[in-house]
């Protein structure tokens, strides 16, 4: 069960967000891709507790690891 990532149809049309905010998880991923650290992202969004921000990223990684499968040899 997700603790730090939420998706609700009435909040940003169901876009996955950081719990308790309207900050889309995709924004966090974009900033990480641009080279931001979690500390720098936290500075941009100080209303999000660092543990919540970090937890959301961890949940995203875990979700990806459980859904992306290596191709099987034939």
How many angstroms separate the Cα of 59 from the Cα of each of 5, 17, 35, 67? 7, 12, 20, 12
Which whole number is the average pLDDT over 26-54? 97
How many angstroms separate the Cα of 49 from the Cα of each of 18, 54, 68, 69? 10, 9, 29, 32
pLDDT at 66: 79
pLDDT tens digits, 1-31: 689 999 999 999 999 999 999 999 999 999 9
pLDDT tens digits, 51-74: 999 999 999 999 888 776 666 666
What domains are there in the chain, each with its CATH number? 5-67 (1.10.10.10)
């Amino acid at each position: 069960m997700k603790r730090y990532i939420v998706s609700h149809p009435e909040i940003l049309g169901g876009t996955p967000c950081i719990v308790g905010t309207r900050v889309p998880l995709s924004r966090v991923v974009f900033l990480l891709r641009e080279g931001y650290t979690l500390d720098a992202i936290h500075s941009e969004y100080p209303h999000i507790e660092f543990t919540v921000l970090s937890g959301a990223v961890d949940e995203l990684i875990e979700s990806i690891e459980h859904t992306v499968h290596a191709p099987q040899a034939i």
